[in-house]
């Protein structure tokens, strides 16, 4: 009997920004798109700061050194916004 195995690879392949969205390509071909407003530091960052990202956490995270922001593929997949304390402009 064949059983389906989870072949998801949640590691980050690339990051882009389009129309006030963060768009993350995963290694298994899936694409995650989340509104930037979920992440105030990224929302308020300029284009150069947004484009200066690094893959971290063994491939499962993204780090922006200029704004000290970190996101994980798990958090993006779960649609988790930044903690409420980061929403200081609200």
Structural domains in the chain, sorted by start: 12-81 (3.30.2020.40)
Residue 39 and residue 79 in contact, taking contact as beta carbons nearer than 8 Å:
no
- Torsion angles phi and psi, residue 71, rounded to 5: -130, 155
Give the pLDDT band (50/70/90) at residue 82. Answer: confident
pLDDT of residue 85: 62
Q: How many CB atoms lie within 10 A of CB 50?
A: 20
Of the pLDDT bands very low, low, confident and very high (cuts 50, 70, 90), residue 80 is confident
* pLDDT of 90 above 50: no
Alpha carbon distance 13, 46 (integer Å): 22
Question: For residue range 4-58, what is the model confidence (pLDDT) as tens digits?
Answer: 566 899 999 999 999 999 999 999 999 999 999 999 999 999 999 999 999 999 9
């Amino acid at each position: 009997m064949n059983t389906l195995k989870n072949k998801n690879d949640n590691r980050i392949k690339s990051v882009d920004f389009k129309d006030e969205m963060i768009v993350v390509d995963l290694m298994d071909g899936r694409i995650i798109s989340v509104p930037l407003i979920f992440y105030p530091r990224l929302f308020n960052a300029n284009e150069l700061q947004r484009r200066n990202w690094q893959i971290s956490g063994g491939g499962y995270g993204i780090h922006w050194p200029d704004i000290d922001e970190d996101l994980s593929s798990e958090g993006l997949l779960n649609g988790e916004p930044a903690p409420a304390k980061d929403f200081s402009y609200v």
